[in-house]
Structure 1
Amino acid sequence: MTMTDLPEITAPSCARAAFLVAPEGFSLAAQSASDNAYMDLSLAVDPERALAQHRELHRTLARYLPVIAFAGDPATPDAVFPNNVFGTVRGRLILGHMCHPVRQAEAERRDIRGFFTGVLGYEEVDLRRQPGVCELTGSMVIDRGRSIGYCGLSERCDAVGAAAMQAAFGLDAMVGYALASGEYHGNVVMSVLASRAVVLCPEGFADPGAGRAIAAAYGEGAILISPEEKDAFVANCIALTGRHVFMSRRAADALRPATRRALDRCGFEVVAVALDEIEKAGGSLRCCVGEIF
């Protein structure tokens, strides 16, 4: 596959449901901060405010698709970002191989795993058993309709882990690229929206030309954002329907007029939720959302 010749859309582009993990005992994990420039350990956090914002996120998303929320655990303070640890394709639950021990504990959750295997009857694929580090849809942005993964390589995902994810998600193609220095996950520098648009910051790539090539493949669906928009988590957005793109209030407030016009041109309405308390942990709305396919 070349970046000028995208395949046709042949599969559902948006999740049929979503799941969240509540920020119980919300705090900042020093291990995660070691390679996440979006975190500042000097900031004070308010656990009750984080819970309130998370409940509002649940209420907002539930107006558009079914959403399940699992209880949080103070022993795993980063568990509010389940998409790094748990991923799905139809009939399959994938467990990621996390970089930091504080995140590795999340994959032991019997309730989340039991919901997918025991209630939904999904097969479990455990990538912790292979040597590559792979933080699932934190590292890899997937064009679900076209079965393509765009994988940002960093300490959080190496080439071996990327190949393991391609196999586990059953992707027809994968485009790997090195993230720019200071970036930790692909989903903070780009997002594919319902397989027809891509929000992307070229400066988030070690080679900005590689980012521009990915964007150009989407033609008029290419939405290039500035480093300032990226830093406000604009690229950490997600299309959970074919018409709505969800992002944090901080991200929505940072949108340039040209970016808003581009989203409108591509047929997307922005739905924003205040998540500034949770964003202190270095992730935003997309990171909070586990997709159920």
Structure 2
Amino acid sequence: MTVSISGPGEPITLDIAAPIASAQDLLPVRVPTTRRYLMCPPTYFTVEYAINPWMDPTRPTSTTLAVEQWTALRETYERLGHQVEVIEPVPGLPDMVFSANSGTVIDGRVLGSRFRAAQRSAEADHFRRWFLGAGYKSVVMPTAVNEAEGDFTWTGSLLLAGTGFRTDPHAHGEAQEVLGVPVVSLQLVDPRFYHLDVALFMLDDQSPTPLVAYYPEAFSPGSQQVLRRLFPDAVIANDADAVCLGLNAVSDGKHVVMPLEATNLAEQVARRGFEPVFVDISELRKSGGGPKCCTMELRG
């Protein structure tokens, strides 16, 4: 069978070799849920320092192209029926575009961020003030280093929490107390995948059995065992998927917005009944970011 995938330019068709032999082989019916996102335009985007292996200040960057790619991402969400809120960018904060790093929102409770890198520390207060201005009543700023949805992934029932390069493990306990949800810690071991959201993402957080995709080699052996126990039916990404930041994707339960280079991962999620939607994030990837990095979900 073939599956057509939308994206920039001409539609892409993937050939799924396995035939549908019986009713048991039919693709599951995936139902999207409307989401609300907070994004920040990359008006001042550049790479002027290096705080992860993707960043090289000597490599040319184009703010204009970054804005074009970000705009296409925002328009993709809106075309899929989602609501996008926008925070104003601030001069001198080129990574503010990566809004996922500045807050975790569950049931209307907000846990802000505390960045490890001094270059990004000022971002946290701009987002704190946005939340207060937007009417959020419970906004708590962390005491431990906490890079928010960069290292926190909500499954619908528990919070997966990464550590190893950015977020302090003490932030995991703080998140549990502030957000009132159970937390499972995961150890990251590959510096290329310095945040949880470049190594794992939720495909479906609404079903009784959540479904994730992840790259095992990004995690310690013990964390790999935890993921296998929690998600025995997970989609397993390969190295090619991981190094194009294919796992820095955003799913609404049906549509999976992902980097256009992640074709193997796209084939796998299509086989599970999801619809991949490709976007070009080549310029934003120069800072180590992709669709999810640019997208904070506002839950409740």
Could you say which residue in structure 2 is the equivalent of 1:285? 291
The residue type paired with residue 204 of structure 1 is A
State how 1:103-142 maps to structure 2 within 5 Å: 103-109=120-126, 112-127=127-142, 130=143, 132-142=144-154
Q: How many angstroms apart in 2 are the aligned matches of 1:228 and 1:29? A: 27
Structure 1-normalised TM-score? 0.82
Structure 2-normalised TM-score? 0.81
State how 1:15-26 maps to structure 2 within 5 Å: 16-26=35-45
* Structure 2 unpaired stretches of 5+: 1-31
Could you say which residue in structure 1 is the equivalent of 2:57? 41
Could you say which residue in structure 2 is the equivalent of 1:177? 187
Q: How many angstroms apart in 2 are the aligned matches of 1:137 and 1:121? A: 18
Aligned residues: 263
State how 1:1-293 maps to structure 2 within 5 Å: 16-30=35-49, 33-34=50-51, 36-64=52-80, 65-109=82-126, 112-127=127-142, 130=143, 132-143=144-155, 145-146=156-157, 148-195=158-205, 196-207=210-221, 210-211=223-224, 213-220=226-233, 222-239=234-251, 241-249=252-260, 253-256=261-264, 259-293=265-299
* Structure 1 unpaired stretches of 5+: 1-12
Q: What do residues 41-98 of structure 1 show as CA deviations (whole Å, max 9, x unaligned)? A: 2210011111111111111111221112222223101101011112212222221111
Q: Percent identity?
A: 25
Cα-Cα RMSD: 2.1
Secondary structure at the counterpart of residue 153 of structure 2 = strand
Q: How many angstroms apart in 1 are the aligned matches of 2:193 and 2:266? A: 24
Q: What do residues 222-265 of structure 1 show as CA deviations (whole Å, max 9, x unaligned)? A: 111112210111111121x221111122xxx2322xx3343123
Q: Which has the larger radius of gyration?
A: 2
Secondary structure at the counterpart of residue 280 of structure 1 = helix
Q: How many angstroms apart in 2 are the aligned matches of 1:273 and 1:183? A: 20
Q: How many angstroms apart in 2 are the aligned matches of 1:123 and 1:162? A: 18
Q: How many angstroms apart in 2 are the aligned matches of 1:265 and 1:212? A: 24
Q: How many angstroms apart in 2 are the aligned matches of 1:233 and 1:197? A: 19
Q: How many angstroms apart in 1 are the aligned matches of 2:34 and 2:104? A: 11
Q: How many angstroms apart in 2 are the aligned matches of 1:81 and 1:181? A: 18
